[in-house]
Every structure is written in structure tokens, then in C-alpha cells.
Structure 1
Amino acid sequence: MSSLVLMIQFLTRYPIPLEIEFTAEHFVAGMRWMPLVGLLVGLPAALMLSLAEPLFGHGLATLLALVVLITVTGGLHLDGIGDTADGLFCYRPRERVLEIMRDSTLGTNGVVAVVMTILIKLVALNSLPLGGALAALLAAPVLGRTSTTWHAAFVGYAREQSGMGAFVSRVGLSQALPATLMSLVLVLMLLLAAGLGWQLVLLLTLLGHGATIIVAVGFGRYLHHRIGGITGDTIGATIELTEMITFLLFLFAWKHLI
């Protein structure tokens, strides 16, 4: 349980007044809890949407829900996709790319990546009916955090194995598989609670997890060839990419399958 608390403290802004030692053992064990952390991220956003919808209408309610989704994590993963975009789109040697990604200053590519990420999510959520938007807000963070386990399981850390690299490089299938099993159960329950039929629930669950694994592993393999591995920023970028794809998948399902 201490590993779960550690991951909540590390990845969210929930004020948990407990001191958990940040060790490799706790971190690696905590990766199995990533889908549950994702659910805790999505719950307040879904609550905001359900409360704001009757007061302000669908458009503003989806914007407020997205603001809550970002606030719960402190924009941690948006920072990751911004830094990743700055580094990968500079077309410089590996060492320079890693330097740019480590720089806290956000460049033009990073700003564009962050803005486009927010806009894609906003438009997708606004295009969904309330039930679909609520399901997406809950499922996307679950799948997004599950993707981190696969991103780390197949690709090593790009920098020297110290600090975060010493933790991430110990993550493997023994963490990714239990996390995926938990994610499958959570997403199935969320979609059934949304009132979807069994066939569509199974289809969305399988497609969502298939896309999650493909994005996480495929992006990781590209990074291995480009910069020698993954970083903390690319982990955040993987979460954002997975969430965007999940929103778009739900939009496609509500437009064409329901």
C-alpha cells in the first residue's frame, strides 16, 4: 500500500500527509498501481463535468473538466510532452536533444505541442455527449498511466543509470502485465457503468488497450533509435498521447458505432 501512496504523491497534487521513502523498490512496485492512480486523476474531472453541465452547458463544462484534469497533476505530463517536442523536433545530435529536453524553458515546438494537446482533448470531449465524455474522462487517465508501464518495460533509460533512470530501468513485464489486468477491469467497469452494450464495451476495451500498448512500445522504440532510450519527459508525453488517442477513439465510437 505504501507504493500506491508514493505514486499518488509523485504523480498527483493530492495532499497526502504521509512520508514514504522514495526507493527503487517502492517505485517499481508502485508501477503496478498506475491504472488506479489514473482513475484518481480522472474522478474529479468527471465530477466537475457532471456538476457543471446543467449550470453552464456542455461546452464550458468540458473546458472546466479539462482544467481539473490538468490541475490534479499540476500539468506534469503536459510539461513532458512540451519538453519532448522541443527536443525531438530540433533535429540535433542525441546529446543536444537530451540537453534541450532537460532545459526547463519551453520553446516554440513545446508550446505548440502543449496547445495542440489541450485543443484536441477539448474538441473531442466537447463533441461527445455527456455520457461519452464522462466515460472518456475516466478511462483515458487509466489507459494513460497504464501506458507508462509498457513504455518503461521495453526500453531502457536514455541517460546514465542514476536518479530516475535507476528506478525506471527496473520496470518490466512483471509490472506491465498486472497493471494492464487492473486497467482492463477498471475500463470494463467504467464502460458498463456508462450504459454501453457488452459487445461495444469489449470492443472499446480491447481497442483502447491495444492502442495503449502500441503507442507506448512504438514510441519507446523510436526513442531508443533517436536518443538511446526514454526519459521522464517521454513518459509524460506517452501519457498525453495515449489520453488523446483514447478521447478520439471514444469520439469515433459514439459517432459511428452507437
Structure 2
Amino acid sequence: MAAVERHVIDRGDGASVELLQAGGPVGAPRGAILFVHGNQGGMLLGAKEAADNGTLLRFSSRLNVTAAAVSQPGFGASDGPADFCGPATQRAIIAALDFLKVQPAVDPARIVLYGNSRGAVASAMVAAQVADLRALILSGGVYDLKEAYQNSAPGLQQAIIREAGTSDQAFLERSALYHAHEISAETLLLHGQYDDPASIEQAEKFAAVLSQARVPVALHRFECGHQIPREQLTPVLRDFLKSVLAPATATYH
């Protein structure tokens, strides 16, 4: 099993972005998946979370793809400050995607972007700017940040105020609901039916708008809160990833 490699790349404005990558298959270029983490309970681990919990090695080996994770600004070893899924975070994700596209083991036409929680907010916005993603997976995200802000707990409101501000422009730059017509990647939305930080209605509205824009989209609801149990998530991910990314002979358990 390949080791996890650490890379530091340029965000495009001189700031550093941390990316961790699990090997990559030997031989012909294969697919890749890029994970974008959530809030992490204030621990600021960044991409290290996906390495420490085995996600990168598990996906890489079982799907026979390159699996990578990027640290958002202010998390891990990526330069800050954090901007709550805003332009700097989106540029960091785009820089990570650009890095993967030129790796010899990666087929640039078969890259999946997978964002969780605040990572889903930013990844949805990235998908509106990157036309050649093979697929997009969004888990527990919000797609109209102003609406989420108005209905969120004080702690989350303070984080948004501190990192992004509350101007109309700030909300628009972080609300993929209003950029759905620019998204072309096949999209899988994963959401807990009882998610408090991110209401299921957010995912339902986003799925409807994507469908209206003729984007292939599926919304899977789970009987849980914000964190989707692995035993519920795995079958859905397995089927989706096998169809868009994994070689026909690969299996995912």
C-alpha cells in the first residue's frame, strides 16, 4: 500500500496550500478524488484528518485511484487567514485540482471533487468555475449562505462574521444556489434528514435548481444529523464512484 505524500503548492497569489496524496496507481493514468474537509471542531487539522483516519489510503487502494486532500486556508499547513469558503478557499481547491491534473498517474478527465460541510460550500462554488470535473460530491453543505446564516446558531454566525462578513457580495461568493447554471459536473448530494447546522431544505433547493439547469443530480437523504454514519454512506458512495471513476474491475468495501 502506497504511503501518503505531502505537497506544498502555490495558491496562485503567493500563498501556500497543503495537499496530501495517497500514492497513485502504477501504469496507465486513472481517476482521482480530492477531499475538502469540514470545520473539524476547531482542531484545524486540514488535510491531515483524511490521512490520519485512513480515508486517503482506503480510497486509493480500493478504487485504484489517486486520493488526495487539501487543507483550506487557515487549516493544516495552508496559509491563512480562513475566509469561510470564500475566494481564497476556492482558489486553494482549484490549485489542488490543477496540481492533480498534471500528475502522470491521473487522468485529468476523471477527477471527482468531494466536499464535506464547509468543504461542500466551497466545492460547490469551485464546480461553478471548473468545467472539466468528472463529478461532484457534496455532503452536509449549505448552498444559500445568507439563509443559513439567518437561521444558524450564534457560534456559526460569529464564524461567518469573523471570516467572511455579512455583505451581499460576501454571501453571493459563497452561495452556489445562485451559480448552479455554471455547474456541469454530475452531482451527488448527501444530507442528513435531521441536520441542524445545514438544513435538508438547502440540499433540496440546490438539487431542484441543478435539475432545472439540466445538471445530472441525485440527492440521498440519510436518517441522521450532520455526520453521516459510514455504514449508511458506503453503499451510496460505492455505486456512484464505480460509475463515474473506478475501473470496472475495482471494488469498494
Q: Which has the higher contact order (CA 8 A, sep 6+)?
A: 1
TM-score (normalised: structure 1) = 0.32
In our comparison, the structure showing a higher alpha carbon Rg is: 1
Which TM-score applies when normalising by structure 2?
Answer: 0.32
The structure carrying a bigger strand percent of its residues is: 2
Structure with the larger helix share: 1
